[in-house]
Amino acid sequence: MKLHELTIRETHELLSSRKISSEELTRDYLERIQRLDPQVKSYVTISEDVALEQAKKADECLKSGEGLTPLTGIPYSAKDSISTRGVNTTCSSKILENYKPFYDATAIKKLNSANSVLLGKNNMDEFGMGSSTENSGFFTTRNPWNFDHVPGGSSGGSAATVAAGLAPFALGEDTGGSVRMPASFCGVTGLKTTYGRVSRYGLIPLVSSFDTIGPMARSAYDVALVLEAIAGHDPKDSTSRVESVQSYSESLKKTENLRGLRIGIPKEYFVEGLDKEVEASVRTAIKQIEGLGADVVEVSLPHTQYAIPVYYLILFAEASSNLAKYDGVRFGLSERTGDLMDVYLKTREAGFGAEAKRRIMLGTFALSAGYYDAYYLKAQKVRALIRQDFQKAFETCDALITPVAPTTAFRIGEKVTNPLDMYLSDVFVVAVNLAGIPALSVPCGFSNGLPIGMQIMGPHLSEETLLRIGHLYQSQTDWHTKHPRCW
């Protein structure tokens, strides 16, 4: 078996027994990236020098046996909105094209403490604005299963990297499905964490009340290993949860069945417009989970129909506010010609792409005098109702299961000229961010050679339960072990 085919656990066993070195492993991945990524286009930046330096440090730890963790010497990549000291962090936008942070995001810092190895930064929709990675300011990432199709977004580069075997795991960021949708489209496992479970310090924000950092890997067990490393309270993030971090991977080792768990199936997620093969695959997966001992019941989330307009109204408003700092004076690109107003206008005209401009304009309108109460404030009130729907469902259920997306990955260019159609592709994922709860995307089938994902949602801080369901399901199926032709 080749090195890129190993899981994190298998790779850790080889490293800790010193059958391979981290430097050898890292060079193998770097060579593979150089060979395959020109087709996939999942990386914006390859940090070869940093990776080899970190790999040598990891080998010293492996030799001494001190401070070893399951991620020591394991390479990974990170979405380009997560700050990395001395390594370009561009949010795939020309306005930050040459930005090198002076500090690491807390999630990166924790992986550094675990002596993991950063291979590079992954392409994304500009500032996270998109569902296909076609809105990158640099280039479009391609789905490893079919290069004519999108990988999903906005963490499309991170999902494509794992699917193509260009990193054992990657960090993504989920604002409204940005980890789960690309995980589904690319056939990998992706976790949207509870809001505040992983520190947002060092994450360049899109929507501060939605953004969460989450891991993407080939299996629920590998995701659990990464979550253990990056989760936990951070005094630098005022929204960070104070609850202690569970040993998720150890819990999975003890998992034998799902007896005693009650799984809800929201009827609003199985409606007209859902692809028949997607529905069939998810319903088959639900039957398999029921066979593992779980009780399955139908539930209702009555305000689901309002999730898309509520999500996008809040997103536009908060994005407009968060992106105001990119004015040619304080951060990034600066077109210093003419007077101050010219600097503002020319910088933003040259630096932002069409989708970023569209969302800034809509958000500024929603926050303007006379419209704030009618749009933004009303959206926040309906957001509370959506949150209450989930709270009520979790009074009788331990988890909910739905599709991740209505279809499999669509073709490149199919929706990019129709923003509304693109926004509607998020219909099954955005409510999770409105409620701040965790959700796991797990591969559960294929349609026309493209992966299908199942979404498992739970109450706040229920990551252990979601990972347990996903892990047991994967122990009975092999969807997560299948690889694209470029593998």
Helix (H) / strand (E) element for 442: namely: strand 439-447
In a domain, 3, yes or no: no
Contact assessment for residue 440 and residue 467, using Cβ atoms and an 8 Å cutoff: yes
Strands (DSSP E) along 64-223, which ranges? 75-79, 117-122, 169-174, 189-192, 212-217
Q: Is 15 among the domain residues?
A: no
Residue 369, classified by CB atoms within 10 Å of its CB into exposed (0-12), middle (13-18) or buried (19+), is: exposed
Q: Is residue 373 part of a domain?
A: yes
Q: What residues form DSSP beta bridges with 402?
A: 455
Burial 330-363 (b: 16+ CB within 10 A, else e): eebbbbeeeeeeebbebbbeebbbebbeebbebb
Identify whether the C-beta of residue 176 lies closer than 8 Å to the C-beta of residue 429.
Answer: yes
Report whether 26 contacts 119 (CB < 8 A).
yes
Query: Which residues lie below 8 Å from residue 147, measured CB to CB, with a gap of 6+?
Result: 39, 40
Q: Please report whether residue 175 resides in a domain.
A: yes
Residues counted in the chain: 487
14 inside domain: no
Number of domains in the chain: 1
Residue 20 belongs to some domain of the structure: no
In a domain, 5, yes or no: no
pLDDT at 207: 96
**What angle do helix axes 354-367 and 307-322 make, rounded to 10 degrees?**
100
> Smallest Cα–Cα separation from 126: which of 178, 74, 57?
178
Distance CA 167, CA 169 (A): 5
| Residues classed as catalytic | 79, 154, 178
CATH code of 394's domain = 3.90.1300.10
Rounded distance between C-alpha atoms, residue 186 and residue 409, angstroms: 8
Distance of CA 408 to the CA centre of its chain: 17
**Is residue 10 in some structural domain?**
no
Distance, in Å, from the CA atom of 186 to the CA atom of 480, rounded to the nearest integer, reads: 10
pLDDT value, residue 328: 87
Q: Mapping DSSP to helix (H, G, I), strand (E, B) and coil, where does residue 468 land? A: helix
* Residue matched to tokens 């629920």: 220
Domain that holds residue 360: 26-487
d(CA 353, CA 194): 30
The per-residue pLDDT string of the chain (487 residues; one tens digit each, 9 = 90 and over) reads 799 999 999 999 999 999 999 999 999 999 999 999 999 999 999 999 999 999 999 999 999 999 899 999 999 999 999 999 999 999 999 999 999 999 999 999 999 999 999 999 999 999 999 999 999 999 999 999 999 999 999 999 999 999 999 999 999 999 999 999 999 999 999 999 999 999 999 999 999 999 999 999 999 999 999 999 999 999 999 999 999 999 999 999 998 999 999 999 999 999 999 999 999 999 999 999 999 999 999 999 999 999 999 999 999 999 999 999 998 887 788 888 888 888 888 888 988 999 999 999 999 999 988 889 999 999 999 999 999 999 999 999 999 999 999 999 999 999 988 888 898 899 999 999 999 999 999 999 999 999 999 999 999 999 999 999 999 999 999 999 999 998 8
Going by the DSSP 8-state scheme, the letter that residue 447 receives in this structure is E
Helix 220-230 and helix 106-113: axis angle, to 10°? 100
